[in-house]
């Protein structure tokens, strides 16, 4: 462009924006961390008691800022969640994910579904979004 006006944010304003961004990320990370703790707690309480190894394996892992994973380390965890054989019960919105854990059909084992993880995530997700909508700006101003 040969002629015009430069439009830039001054350094002071850029620092303020970066400071708000940093505080926002801190607040969000704490909230997501607490969300994951609640999901783990609920999931552990919902697992059938005879699967002690499963309940002990449910945990959260922090991958990076704002990135966590909640899950279980035992190989049979998805089969407890969704059931097996003719008793499989997968919510429609999770079918493409659940298909990754489809058995090979070598033997017929019919175990009923005992949802513990995804329903816990959904309940806590609703609470998290309401909390963020209501309190995020207030917490950023306070921090």
Q: What is the pLDDT of residues 55-114, one digit of tens each?
A: 999 999 999 888 999 999 999 999 999 888 888 888 888 888 888 888 766 677 788 889
Better-predicted residue by pLDDT, 49 or 30: 30
Do 67 and 73 contact (CB within 8 A), yes or no? no
- What is the average per-residue pLDDT within 121-140? 83
User: What residues does each domain of the chain span?
Assistant: 11-137
Say what the pLDDT of residue 122 is. 93
CA distance from start to end of the chain? 43
Say what the pLDDT of residue 6 is. 66
Better-predicted residue by pLDDT, 142 or 16: 16
Percent of the chain with pLDDT over 90: 40
Say what the pLDDT of residue 139 is. 61
Better-predicted residue by pLDDT, 11 or 93: 93
Do 77 and 44 contact (CB within 8 A), yes or no? no
């Amino acid at each position: 462009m040969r002629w015009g006006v430069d439009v830039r944010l001054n350094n002071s304003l850029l620092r303020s924006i970066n400071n708000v961004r940093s505080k926002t990320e801190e607040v969000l990370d704490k909230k997501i961390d607490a969300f994951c703790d609640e999901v783990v707690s609920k999931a552990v309480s919902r697992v059938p008691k005879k699967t002690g190894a499963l309940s002990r394996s449910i945990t959260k892992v922090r991958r990076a800022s704002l990135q966590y994973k909640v899950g279980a380390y035992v190989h049979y965890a998805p089969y407890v969640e969704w059931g097996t054989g003719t008793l499989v019960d997968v919510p429609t919105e999770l079918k493409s994910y659940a298909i990754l854990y489809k058995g090979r059909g070598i033997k017929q084992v019919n175990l009923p579904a005992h949802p513990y993880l995804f329903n816990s995530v959904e309940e806590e997700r609703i609470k998290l979004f309401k909390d963020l909508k209501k309190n995020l700006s207030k917490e950023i101003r306070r921090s």
